[in-house]
Structure 1
Amino acid sequence: MTAPSEPLLTLLRVGTIHTPETVDATEILIADGRIAALGSNLSVPPDWPVEIIDAPDLAAVPAFIDQHAHVTGGGGEGGCGTRCPAMSAADIACMGIATVVGVLGTDSVSRSPADLLAGVRGLCADGIDAYMYTGAYRVPAPTLTGDIQRDLAWIPEVIGVGEIAISDHRSSQPTQEEIARLVSEARVGGMLAGKRGICHFHVGDGRRGLEPLRRLLSETEIPPDQVIPTHVNRRHELLEEAAEYAKMYGATIDVTAFDDCPGDSEFSAYNAVVELLRRGVPADRITLSSDCNGSLPEFDANGDYAGMRVARNTELLGAWQKLVRDGVLPIGDALGLITGNVARVLGLQHRKGRLATGFAADIALIDADLQPRQTFAAGRRIFLDAG
């Protein structure tokens, strides 16, 4: 019998394991892309094909999940010359991220859900576990099959609808009835497919803020976990409103790690999380995402395009690191912002967001400075810091 070309098992030996709780174990056995066991002094028969990775100076944590990434590039608000580039698997994995959800943004004309699906599948081929939202800023939402429910039911990578723009001069100004219909279509499509079927809402800096979502939850039977507002830290009044929204409805809100807002900026992800916690929002109702490779456009007082930058995902990692270093949250709760909480929001909580037997072997190995040095997705190493 010919020996397999690659080991069928991987044994990670590390210094510490956060599942996110810190556990009395230092080894993780990986088999068939999943975690087979956690413990210490795990033994494998000597004739079994196993690769042993010794990293005693590193800690193992659940690999991060980015629920809002422009994997095919965003932008376009200033014409075709302002389209942002696509993301690479290397850009993602080096940040300790093993799972992303791709979004379309303003431009669903030169870009399409089919283009996004191709980008998502390309990342999957490179080892990233990638998903997508069908739709874009505008309503009615552009889809792959011509129907939101069919997209959710028949396209495995589609896990919701988004990013739908509200309270923004770039949105299609959907009516309350259109919003309710779109969310209900996503909900039923998700039910038929065995998915969460969430609606991911881009919230602009318009004066209506979260009013359309408050009305949705107050006037319909839609449950709060069906809708996720993002970019809630773009201005102070919106952040205050988001805190009350989360507490009133028991809803989850998504903070964007804008990379043009360093940690000491008023609207940084770090300061937003600190403020939300101060206002009584439970940590498990907050998530962080990057908006990576989306545009950071500037508009003048008349709403005319004035310039833009391309967003990166470095601040997603930086904000999380600062929250842990400053003791704002213990590492387990802080990990929830980019692992367990996000997995729950996306309906992936039964196989992602934790290090536990039977879960996907999505693992980041971090050093004492909380910097990712190795990243594994479904047991496959997709990043190794050469330094």
Structure 2
Amino acid sequence: MALEVEESAALLTLIRVGHIYAPEPLGAGDILIAGGRIAAIGAPLEVPSGWPLRIVEAPELTAVPAFIDQHVHVTGGGGEGGCATRCPEITALEIAAMGIGTVVGVLGTDSVSRSPADLLAKVRGLRAEGIAAYLYTGAYRVPPPTLTGDLQRDLAWIPEVLGLGELAISDHRSSQPRQHEIERLVSDVRVGAMLAGKRGICHFHVGDGERGLEPLRRLLSETEIPAEQVIPTHVNRRRALLEEAADYALRFGANVDVTAFEDPGEAGLDGFDAVCRLLERGVPLARITLSSDCNGSLPEFDAAGRYLGMRVARNTALIAAWRRLVQEGVLPLERALGLISGHVAQVLGLQHRKGRLAVGHDADVTLVDAALTPCQTFVNGRRVYDVGTAG
């Protein structure tokens, strides 16, 4: 057998678990990690004697692809009620404790006291702490703030930039962009992404406005932009908007992102109910994703748009909604995983590296217990969370 060494000295990691979902169920087995990638999956796996190896024995746990959250205010959102209402930054521990290995950072309403440069710095800090972090350039407003002064250059020259977001539509806080402005921005992102070999996501915040998804329906009807590039989020903030999102997904073969609201209020639906409703409407599961909006603000306004107060979103609601879909029998585990792993990787253009447990993929592995509670999280082979040692 290989020489078992301390974690800091190990070049290889062997995870032994009671079940593996890749997401397809593989039964009990081992996952061998080398160089930050999955080198082998099997039962049992043997490593040559003398090789420096860390062994993780977890026969009571299940290995699944580490979760992906495509909408995180990593630098904190908020600010709608003044400087005292700025939300806090999120920590690497808060991310990893939920079994999340990959996040995409966004700016929101406030791109004045926060900037794309702040966002990039935070993303790189999270990477140094072990999280696979990316970002969208831009914010709510048009023209969007950028890192290089140009959307195409941001996509082409900044590796961490995956697209544009969260650009606000149908919201009193948006810049009220004209249709031609939306079309030009999405086109710029598409070309910049092509030059960089990226998917080039345009991640749209959809507000409470009556126009709903109309700008995106027009975009896909009147231009050659492919539906896979355009992702509306918060589609469950109003029941009528969710019905519109179902029609949108079915008509265009498009993806829609459900927000795991802790308290959607009387007008909206939480993540669990929203996914159930989309499935009832016949939206293919592969077209649905879940995200948290965590560390963003949940402001309340009156009918005249006056600020009343706010709460801070957390990523605990994301895992709770996903867990409930499995525990209440809406989806089996192997299918539910796509909502927060495989489908998200596909949307972001990261499917060749993330979203499944397979040889050659990044070694992003979450170990969950029988209640589907994350207990350990590995990102690129590095253990970034262990419930047994977490303070």
Runs of 4+ aligned residues of structure 1 deviating over 2 Å after TM superposition are: none
Q: Is the 8 A contact 2:193 2:200 kept in 1?
A: yes
User: What is residue 165 of structure 2 aligned with on the other side?
Assistant: 162
Alignment correspondent of 1:371: 373
SS at match of 2:247: helix
1:289 equivalent in structure 2: 291
- Map of 2:316 onto structure 1: 314
Matched, 1:386 2:388: yes
Residues 105 and 136 of structure 2 are in contact (CA less than 8 Å); yes or no, is this contact kept in structure 1? yes
Q: In 2, are the aligned partners of 1:374 and 1:383 still within 8 Å (CA)?
A: yes
- Rounded Cα–Cα distance in structure 2 between residues aligned with 1:6 and 1:227: 44
In the alignment, does 2:125 pair up with 1:125?
no
CA shift, 1:261, in A, is 4.0
Structure 2 equivalent of residue 7 of structure 1: 10
| Counterpart-to-counterpart distance in 2, 1:260 and 1:277 | 21
1:351 aligns with 353
Matched position secondary structure for 1:315 = helix
Paired with 1:336 and 1:285, the residues of 2 have a C-alpha distance of 10
Query: Is 1:220 aligned with 2:208?
Result: no
Q: How does 1:34-53 map to 2 (within 5 A)?
A: 34-53=37-56
Structure 2 counterparts to residues 255-266 of structure 1, below 5 A: 255-261=258-264
Q: Give the aligned residue type for 2:383.
A: R
Residue by residue over 1:5-28, the C-alpha shift from the partner in whole angstroms, topping out at 9 and shown as x without a partner, is: 611000000000000000145100
Cα separation, 2, equivalents of 1:126 and 1:356 = 24
Q: Closer, same or farther in 2 for the Cα pair 1:266/1:303, shift >3 Å?
A: closer
Matches within 5 A, 1:1-387: 6-261=9-264, 267-386=269-388
Q: TM-score, normalised by structure 1?
A: 0.97
Following superposition, the deviation at residue 226 of structure 1 comes to 0.6
Residue 273 of structure 1 aligns to a residue in which SS? helix
C-alpha deviation, 1:104, in angstroms? 0.1
Aligned length: 384
RMSD of the alignment, in Å?
1.4
Structure 1, residues 328-361: CA drift from partner, whole Å, max 9, x if none? 1111110000000000000000010000000000
3-state DSSP of counterpart to 1:26: strand
Structure 1 segments unaligned to the other structure (5+ residues): none
Query: Any unmatched runs of 5+ in structure 2?
Result: none
- Asked if the contact 2:237–2:267 (Cα under 8 Å) also holds between the matched residues in 1, the reply is no
Alpha-carbon separation, structure 2, partners of 1:343 and 1:102? 15
Paired with 1:266 and 1:117, the residues of 2 have a C-alpha distance of 32
Separation in structure 2 between the aligned mates of residue 240 and residue 217 of structure 1, nearest angstrom: 18
Structure 2 CA distance for aligned equivalents of residues 164 and 332 of structure 1: 32
What is the identity, as a one-letter code, of the residue corresponding to 1:125?
A
SS in 1 for 2:289: strand
